[in-house]
Structure 1
Amino acid sequence: MRSNLLGVALIALIIPFAAQAQLSNDVSGDAVRIGVLTDMAGVTADVTGKGSLVAAEMAVREIGGTVLGKPVQVISADHQHKPDIGTGIARQWFDVEGVDAIVDVPNSGVALAIQGLAREKKRIVLYSGAGTTALTNEQCSPFGVHWTYDTYAVSHGTASAVVKAGGTSWFFLAADYAFGQQLQKDASNVIVAAGGKVLGGVRHPLNTPDFSSFLLTAQSSGAKVIGVANAGNDTINAMKQANEYGIVKGGQSLAAMILFLQDIHTLGLEAAQGTYLTTASYWDMNEATRAWSKEFMSKTGMPPSMLHAGVYGAVRHYLKAVTKAGTDDAEKVAAAMREVPIDDVFSQDAKLREDGRVTRTMYLARVKKPSESKYPWDYLEIVRPIPPEETVWPLAESKCPLVKGTSR
């Protein structure tokens, strides 16, 4: 009788543990699938694209290639900077291919379209390439994580530094889509708050080859500073053509609201020297970043942009959250992402807020003169770290309904 009771007691103990074990390995489709939705051939391909795919794969290998005993699979696609194509890919991934999380998504218009779909489907999206603050304000989602930067961060870092250096009157050359418009707006607010003036602006189509009319308008404005509010090849072409037109030699300065390492490489230090920029990371910061970047360079031929570093960090953190949650269920993983510490080599003082924004230390940097560069890709001097409270939208002003005390 006693042995029977002991057996019953053991079964009673085993069943809950078995149920817990089943829950802790609740992975849909017997794999965790991550989709890198990026720009493989467009204006931001150098700073996202193949490098973003490599960064995601490196994060997966770093955690051993599996979570909860299931393989982690990474796929990729090119959204071509078109919201309809991007949402079509994402819908196929969610509905047919069982993708659990999407990462990168350069282009704010595409990102906002994906945000709505992912909210409806209850899937995680980790934005590294998109810049619009709407992702954590009006269009915030419990499943959306704005990982690397936004227009508020880069404009506050760069515009304030240029105004303090004497660049008190501005004219903007901005890309005519959500990212460029928001970047111009955010930078303008900083400039005016710092005592400067914005004399006007012009907007250009995405991926335009000819900036002549836009630059001549900016030149005739008489502004001390021409703010370049675009990205990728558009930034490169605008700055190259500005030099060809003698705008800088004529006494006006250029201020790139967002400038990547790869842009500087293409421009050359002679053309880019002295330009201030704000970045979330830099490959040559310390031994840990250099070691990681060495492996990345062996696969891509270049160091990581801050967007590549962001993809790596976001994927790593997502997989750690899946492990903590014991499932790939989006609601449980989203909660775990806010509990698990962010600890990759490129993230300092980083935390995930309730609105989906990752707050982090950013860096004000200056492009080196050719004589200051000592080895390949030695392009930036870090002027100062910028603490998170200077570069993130204050929660007290949030328009995100997920933030306590706010409403639509």
Structure 2
Amino acid sequence: MKRFTLAAGALAVYAATGLASAYAAGPDIKIALIAGKTGILETYAKETETGFMMGLEYLTGGKMEINGRKIKVIVKDDQSKPDLARTLLAEAYGDDKADIAVGTSNSGAALAMLPVAAEYKKILVVEPAVADSITGDKWNRYIFRTARSSMQESISAATTFKNGSIGFLAQDYAFGKDTVKAFKEALGVVGSKAKVVAEEYASPATTDFTAPAQRLFDKLKDAPQPRVLSIVWAGPHPMNKIAEMHPERYGISIAPNGNILPVLKTWKNYAGTEGTIFYYYDFPKNKMNDWFVAEHRKRFKSPPDMFSAGGFAAASAVVTALTKSGGDTNTEKLIKTMEGMDFETPKGKMNFRAQDHQAMQSMYHFRIKKAQKDEWDLLELVREIPASELPVPVKNKK
């Protein structure tokens, strides 16, 4: 009888302690991850999800919890459709009771989500959409962006142009138009004497680039040297098709934006071609990136890609903010924590600029390698362009 009583007492104490611990830890932290997992940006979305989950794993030591609160990730596919993205974010905040949301792949879809974050007064970490208006005139105080902006990409690219003539082939939606607009402004920011003399916009579904490319050639061929055709494209990339039209006969070289590894692999015949990129697995040298590259190779037989790194960066922003807040998911406390916050990523340190919540970050000037040791040994680093050399103007209405 005594034994039973002691056991029961011990059990009661254990149960009370366990309940107290569970109560102290609080409910699960719910994070909604919205991405265009079907459609033209499917690869980008899948990479973002992979990087986000690996980032949470690394940053929580595999526990997937912060201050004893378990992390629950709710993944939703917006198919890169603005109306669906808006609906899914409202569902995440309302029905799923998500504390924070992350997304999305398409700039048009991301822009549709911004007012929803303001309506529900919940934080939205934008990754990987790049349109400048996201942290510009369409911004609200609940928006933080770990993704690079069009202006960050444009200023980094503009630093590689000293003079000459530039033509653009870009996609006919927010991403392409914002990037070209930003690049024109960026030339002035860096003091370049180069001029944009031609622009062509095509549907993201375009497969035949003969007509727009020829129009660009015609406008560039008599312009001052050096003559460069810059390609701004998400999804299946047209560089090879443009190169097959031999722009060099007009004294025109191609300058592509960085792209995902499967696309970069198709550029092997253009060794020496230069461009800029926001992440290539072999460029950053830090402990976090070392783990990311090694673990990604182990699991997927390939190094991490650009959007995988972006997903990891978004995870770092979320974990850093929640850790600093002591696991408190109160929106106002998180905003106060995140404004001006430094956080580590596979690229190195980023900082959320207080004025518009844009993550300030380094970029990279690359050259396609001539001697490639294996299928992933594709680029060599010309120069890391630090955030301090990317004076991105503040364009919101805070």
- TM class by shorter chain equals 0.7 to 0.9
Residue 79, structure 1, aligned to residue 78, structure 2? yes
Q: CA deviation at 1:65?
A: 0.7
Residue 211, structure 1, aligned to residue 225, structure 2? no
- 2:31 pairs, out of 19, 25, 34, with 34
**Match in the other structure for 1:232:** 235
Name the aligned partner's letter for residue 207 of structure 2: P
* Matched residues, number: 366
8 Å CA contact 1:37–1:78 kept in 2: the answer is yes
**Match in the other structure for 1:251:** 251
Name the aligned partner's letter for residue 277 of structure 1: T
Q: 2:271, 2:82 → 1: CA distance?
A: 32
Q: CA deviation at 1:24?
A: 7.8
Q: 2:32, 2:92 → 1: CA distance?
A: 8
TM-score by length of structure 2 reads 0.84
Name the aligned partner's letter for residue 337 of structure 1: M
Instruction: Please tell me the root mean square deviation across aligned C-alpha atoms, in Å.
Output: 2.5
Q: 1:328, 1:272 → 2: CA distance?
A: 49
SS in 2 for 1:355: coil
**Match in the other structure for 1:333:** 334
8 Å CA contact 1:115–1:139 kept in 2: the answer is yes
8 Å CA contact 1:225–1:253 kept in 2: the answer is yes
Name the aligned partner's letter for residue 217 of structure 2: Q
**Match in the other structure for 2:66:** 67
Give the direction of change, closer, same or farther, for the CA distance of 1:231–1:60 in structure 2 (3 Å limit). Answer: same
Q: Alpha-carbon deviations, 1:352-407, whole Å to 9, x = none?
A: 433111112222222212x2x2233121211112121332423xxx33233xxxxx
Q: Alpha-carbon deviations, 1:6-59, whole Å to 9, x = none?
A: xxxxxxxxxxxxxxx99985x5xx21122222232333333x222211211112
Residue 51, structure 1, aligned to residue 47, structure 2? yes
Q: 1:339, 1:133 → 2: CA distance?
A: 19
Over the matched positions of the two proteins, sequence identity in percent amounts to 24
Q: Alpha-carbon deviations, 1:128-161, whole Å to 9, x = none?
A: 2111111222122222111131111111112330
8 Å CA contact 2:270–2:368 kept in 1: the answer is no
Q: 1:399, 1:79 → 2: CA distance?
A: 28
8 Å CA contact 1:351–1:359 kept in 2: the answer is yes
8 Å CA contact 2:231–2:255 kept in 1: the answer is yes
Give the direction of change, closer, same or farther, for the CA distance of 1:148–1:123 in structure 2 (3 Å limit). Answer: same
Q: 2:79, 2:272 → 1: CA distance?
A: 31
SS in 2 for 1:385: strand
- 1:184 pairs, out of 160, 180, 186, with 180
8 Å CA contact 2:198–2:220 kept in 1: the answer is no
Q: Alpha-carbon deviations, 1:219-263, whole Å to 9, x = none?
A: 221252112122221xx1x21211222224553111224433342
SS in 2 for 1:343: strand
Name the aligned partner's letter for residue 389 of structure 2: E
Q: CA deviation at 1:284?
A: 4.8
SS in 2 for 1:40: coil
Q: 1:301, 1:208 → 2: CA distance?
A: 31
8 Å CA contact 2:342–2:350 kept in 1: the answer is no
Give the direction of change, closer, same or farther, for the CA distance of 1:299–1:144 in structure 2 (3 Å limit). Answer: farther
**Match in the other structure for 2:138:** 139
8 Å CA contact 1:283–1:304 kept in 2: the answer is no
8 Å CA contact 2:286–2:346 kept in 1: the answer is no
Give the direction of change, closer, same or farther, for the CA distance of 1:392–1:123 in structure 2 (3 Å limit). Answer: farther
Q: 2:384, 2:231 → 1: CA distance?
A: 23
**Match in the other structure for 2:347:** 346
Q: 2:195, 2:337 → 1: CA distance?
A: 44
1:251-290 equivalence runs, <5 A: 251-265=251-265, 267-271=266-270, 273-280=272-279, 282-286=281-285, 288=287, 289-290=289-290
Gaps of at least 5 residues in structure 2 are 1-20, 222-226
**Match in the other structure for 1:106:** 105
8 Å CA contact 1:66–1:72 kept in 2: the answer is yes
Q: 2:169, 2:346 → 1: CA distance?
A: 34
8 Å CA contact 2:147–2:310 kept in 1: the answer is yes
Name the aligned partner's letter for residue 320 of structure 2: K
- Larger deviation: 277-286 or 168-177? 277-286
Q: CA deviation at 1:204?
A: 0.6
Name the aligned partner's letter for residue 175 of structure 1: Q
Give the direction of change, closer, same or farther, for the CA distance of 1:215–1:194 in structure 2 (3 Å limit). Answer: same
8 Å CA contact 2:38–2:80 kept in 1: the answer is no
SS in 1 for 2:297: helix
Q: CA deviation at 1:124?
A: 1.6
8 Å CA contact 2:312–2:346 kept in 1: the answer is no
**Match in the other structure for 1:16:** none
Q: 2:259, 2:391 → 1: CA distance?
A: 19
TM-score by length of structure 1 reads 0.82
- Larger deviation: 282-291 or 212-221? 282-291
Name the aligned partner's letter for residue 192 of structure 2: A
Q: 1:225, 1:136 → 2: CA distance?
A: 29
8 Å CA contact 2:146–2:317 kept in 1: the answer is no
Residue 382, structure 1, aligned to residue 398, structure 2? no
Q: Alpha-carbon deviations, 1:50-91, whole Å to 9, x = none?
A: 221121111222212112322111232222221111111111
Q: Alpha-carbon deviations, 1:83-134, whole Å to 9, x = none?
A: 1111111111111112222224122111111111111111222222111111
8 Å CA contact 1:56–1:74 kept in 2: the answer is no
